[in-house]
C-alpha cells in the first residue's frame, strides 16, 4: 500500500518527524533548496500538512489541491487560515490540554518575577552589587492581597486560577460567556474585570475578536498598582498603549511572554524598570513540546487510519 504524502513546511521536533516517517512519505519543505520547485512537484500529491513553528496561509493552501488535514503545533491557531481551510473542506487540528500545566507554571512564575522583581534581583547578584554590600532594594509591589483577573478562563486559565488560589489570591474572570459551575466572580466586560482587580492575567487567544482588547481604557481601569501579565497572544494587548501606561504610571508593571511582533521586543519596553520579559517560553520544556509534537503526528495518523482527527479546532464542529 502506498503511504500518504505529508508536507512539513517547517521544522518539527525529531520525535514527531520520526513517528510520521514510519507511516507517511514526508516532504520536508524546510530543507528544500528550491521550495517552489518542490511544491510544484509534490503539491498535487500532498494529503496532509504537519505544521511546526510557522503559519499556514491561503497561498500555501492553493498549492495543495488534494489536501485533507492541517495538523497545527500549539493550542493557539491564529497562524492558520481556518476560514480558508473550512472553505476548502480541510480539517484543522491543534494541540490543546497537553500544555496546560506547563503554561500555567510559566504564568505564575512570570507573575511573581514581575511583581517581586526576581529577574532584576538576580541581575543584582550577577553584577556584583550584593557582594559590594548593597542589598537589593525592597520591592514596592507584593503579591500579598492581590486580586487576579483572568482574561480567558479556559483550559490554561483554569490551571492558573487553581495555582493562584493556592497562593491566596482572589480570582475573577472575563470571557464572552459566564461559565456554569465556576464560582469565581464573572465580569461581562474586560474593563469591568480590570476595575475589580489589580493584576490582569491575559490568557485569551489571538485573532480578530481579541485584537487590542487590552487597550488604554482597560489599563486605566486597572490602576496605578496594576500589573499586566500576558501568556496569551501579543496581539491581545495594544503594546503602544501598554508602553505609555507604564511610562506615565497609569499602571505599575508588566510580565510578558508574548509580543505583537515576535521576536522583536520594542526598545521602549525593555527600557522600563518594572517590566519582565520572556521569549515566548510558556510551553517550552522538552517534555511538553514533545507531547505537543506527538499530538501533531497522532492527529495525522488518526485521520488517515480512522477518518477522524483527535483534536480538531472548535470551528470544525463536533
Q: Of 36, 58, 209, 285, which one interacts with ligand NDP (CB under 6 A)?
A: 209
Q: Of 200, 258, 291, 293, which one interacts with ligand NDP (CB under 6 A)?
A: 258
Contact between 159 and 101 (Cβ < 8 Å): yes
| 220 is an active site residue | no
Contact between 120 and 142 (Cβ < 8 Å): no
Q: Of 89, 126, 133, 176, which one interacts with ligand NDP (CB under 6 A)?
A: 176
Contact between 258 and 230 (Cβ < 8 Å): yes
CA distance 259 to 265: 7
Per DSSP (E only), the strands in the chain are 5-8, 25-28, 46-50, 69-71, 91-93, 147-151, 170-174, 186-187, 199-202, 227-230, 253-256, 275-277
| 233 is an active site residue | yes
Size of the site for ligand NDP (CB under 6 A): 28
Minimum distance between the CB of residue 280 and ligand NDP, rounded to whole angstroms?
5
Minimum distance between the CB of residue 283 and ligand NDP, rounded to whole angstroms?
4
| Measured CA angle at 135 (ends 133, 138), to 5 deg | 165
Verify binding: residue 28, ligand NDP, rule CB under 6 A: no
> 48 vs 74, which CB is nearer to ligand NDP?
74
Q: How far is CA 54 from CA 78, 81, 125, 228, in A?
A: 11, 12, 38, 27
Query: Which of helix, strand or coil describes residue 274?
Result: coil
Verify binding: residue 212, ligand NDP, rule CB under 6 A: no
Catalytic residue among 31, 247, 262, 315: 262
Verify binding: residue 142, ligand NDP, rule CB under 6 A: no
Verify binding: residue 199, ligand NDP, rule CB under 6 A: no
Summarize as ranges the residues that interact with ligand NDP (CB under 6 A).
Answer: 75-76, 96, 99, 103, 152-157, 175-177, 203-206, 209-210, 231-233, 257-258, 280, 282-283
The residues carrying an active-site annotation are 233, 262, 280
Amino acid at each position: 500500500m502506498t503511504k500518504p504524502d505529508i508536507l512539513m513546511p517547517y521544522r518539527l521536533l525529531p520525535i514527531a518527524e520520526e513517528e510520521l516517517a514510519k507511516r507517511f512519505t514526508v516532504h520536508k519543505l524546510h530543507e528544500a533548496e528550491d521550495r517552489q520547485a518542490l511544491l510544484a512537484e509534490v503539491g498535487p500529491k500532498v494529503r496532509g500538512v504537519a505544521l511546526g513553528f510557522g503559519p499556514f496561509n491561503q497561498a500555501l493552501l492553493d498549492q495543495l489541491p488534494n489536501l485533507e488535514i492541517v495538523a497545527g503545533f500549539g493550542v493557539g491557531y491564529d497562524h492558520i487560515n481556518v476560514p480558508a481551510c473550512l472553505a476548502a473542506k480541510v480539517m484543522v487540528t491543534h494541540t490543546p490540554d497537553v500544555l496546560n500545566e506547563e503554561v500555567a507554571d510559566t504564568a505564575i512564575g512570570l507573575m511573581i518575577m514581575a511583581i517581586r522583581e526576581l529577574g532584576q534581583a538576580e541581575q543584582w547578584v550577577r553584577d556584583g552589587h550584593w557582594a559590594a554590600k548593597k542589598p537589593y532594594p525592597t520591592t514596592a509591589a507584593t503579591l500579598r492581597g492581590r486580586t487576579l483577573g483572568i482574561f480567558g478562563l479556559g483550559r490554561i486559565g483554569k490551571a492558573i486560577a487553581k495555582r493562584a488560589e493556592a497562593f491566596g489570591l482572589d480570582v475573577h474572570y472575563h470571557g464572552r460567556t459566564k461559565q456554569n459551575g465556576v464560582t469565581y466572580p464573572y465580569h461581562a466586560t474586560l474593563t469591568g474585570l480590570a476595575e475589580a482587580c489589580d493584576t490582569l492575567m491575559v490568557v485569551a487567544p489571538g485573532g480578530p475578536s481579541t485584537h487590542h482588547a487590552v487597550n488604554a481604557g482597560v489599563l486605566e481601569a486597572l490602576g496605578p498598582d496594576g500589573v499586566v501579565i500576558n501568556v496569551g497572544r501579543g496581539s491581545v494587548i495594544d503594546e503602544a498603549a501598554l508602553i505609555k501606561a507604564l511610562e506615565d504610571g497609569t499602571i505599575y508593571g508588566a510580565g510578558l511572554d508574548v509580543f505583537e511582533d515576535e521576536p522583536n521586543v520594542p526598545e521602549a519596553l525593555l527600557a522600563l524598570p518594572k517590566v519582565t520579559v520572556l521569549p515566548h517560553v510558556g510551553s517550552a520544556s522538552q517534555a511538553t513540546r514533545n507531547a505537543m509534537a506527538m499530538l501533531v503526528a497522532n492527529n495525522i495518523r488518526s485521520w488517515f487510519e480512522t477518518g477522524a482527527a483527535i483534536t480538531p479546532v472548535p470551528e470544525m464542529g463536533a
